Structure 1
Amino acid sequence: MTGMQYVYHIMLDPFVTLQFVVLALKLWTGFKVLNRRILQTVAPKTDSCVVSILLGPSGSTPGASSNFHELQRAHLLLHRAAEVLQDHFGMTVALDLTYSISGMICSSYEIVTAISREKKPVGILDEGQTRVSLVWMVLHVWKLSAMTLSCSAVSTEAAATRLLVQRAVALHSTPGPQLGALLRVVTLSPQLRFTAAGFVTVDRSLLVSALAAALTYLVLLTQFSGNY
């Protein structure tokens, strides 16, 4: 691997991943603020004890409430921002996930192979090549974890918005037209989830599947290499 390739894979490529993760976390923050505004808007209109039970303790905290039109607009803007992020980074996320999973398998295999060659595995990290493999493996695991966990956090918070509004409507004996309109907007909006260019959903289950697949391939490669 040339020097320019090292610069790209060690510095530039993680920056692209970091940019996606930061934008996803901004969306997560936006949905957190929206959910808090919904709680603050609904809580004063009902019994605080019931709100605390059904909507959570934060529903009874004082704060500046918003009107329902602002909540609808904020929800639509957040969903539109998620669509733009998905369209812009979809193929990049797919390539990054493929590269991270394959790189994690190769790096871990190099470490296992180096350990199996040494009679004294205690000082194995003193070898330069083994340290490089360890750095690569940590980098790939970090990228995979950062992308999957950030996307999963956004999807979870967006799903919480729908649940909050549904429970808020159930709390009102006669929900007004504004609250009903907010419920329709939130319910009819598609479920927010990030995909790797439409191939696979990026969430916590993908992280677990990728780690399981990497471990399986690592065991198979180790067994095959031990037979030759």
Structure 2
Amino acid sequence: MEAARETLTPTSNLRTQYMAVLREVRQLQDHFGLSVACDVAANIITLLYSIDIFLSFATVGYQMCIVTISTIFMCYSLLRLLMVAETCAAASSGADEVRSLFAECSLEVPPLHFSAAGFFYVDRSLLVSVISITVTYVIVLYQFHSV
């Protein structure tokens, strides 16, 4: 009976800490979720606009300075999206490891996800979505520029 209490105490303490972290994450999402959504949207718009400028001036053989600047903005936008998505994904995967520990002890805890004001989850799937949107946009732009 003593051994059961000793093993239960650290587990319940860990569960209490996990629930406290989950509350803090939800509070952060309430305060910064809309800001993250706007930041992601601004990065996508900057990325697409940079691609548009790149295609417009690179196909005409215009000044290399404009093409270089648009390439820098494309890389900058992708890097910002990558940083946000990877940070949220790393925190979520760490929380999943803790949840698996609770599953072994038959304790149920809610999952940890980061969302941008409830519009979408901020994780690695966001990067896949942005890349697919970008590729589709580039194909359509290239078709219009070649006509």
Name the residue aligned to 1:111. Answer: 54
Q: Which residue of 1 aligns with 2:116?
A: 196
Tell me what 2:3 maps to. none
Distance of 2:127 and 2:12 partners within structure 1: 38
1:86, 1:194 within 8 Å by CA — same for their partners in 2? Answer: yes
How many residues end up aligned between the 2 structures? 140
Q: Name the % identity.
A: 31
Which residue pairs with 2:99 in the alignment?
A: 162
Quote the Cα distance in structure 2 between the aligned partners of 1:68 and 1:197: 32
Residue 97 of structure 1 corresponds to: 40
5+ residue gaps in structure 1?
A: 1-44, 46-65, 119-123, 170-179
The alpha-carbon deviation at position 69 of structure 1 amounts to: 4.1
The one-character-per-residue Cα deviations of 1:56-104 (angstroms, maximum 9, x if unpaired) are xxxxxxxxxx833431331122111211221111001111111111211
Which structure 2 residue ranges, 5 or more long, are not aligned? 1-6
Counterpart residue number, 1:214: 134
SS at structure 2 position matched to 1:67: helix
Matched to 1:223, the amino acid is Q
What secondary structure sits across from 1:76 in the alignment?
Answer: helix
Q: Distance in 2 between matches of 1:152 and 1:103?
A: 23
> Of the two, which has the highest radius of gyration?
1
Partner of 2:87: 150
- 2:74 is paired with a residue of what secondary structure? helix
Q: Secondary structure at the match of 1:116?
A: helix
Runs of 4+ in 1 over 3 A off after TM superposition: none
Q: Contact 1:151–1:194 (CA<8 Å) still a contact in 2?
A: yes
Q: TM-score scaled by structure 1?
A: 0.56
Equivalent residue for 1:81, pick from 24, 48, 54: 24
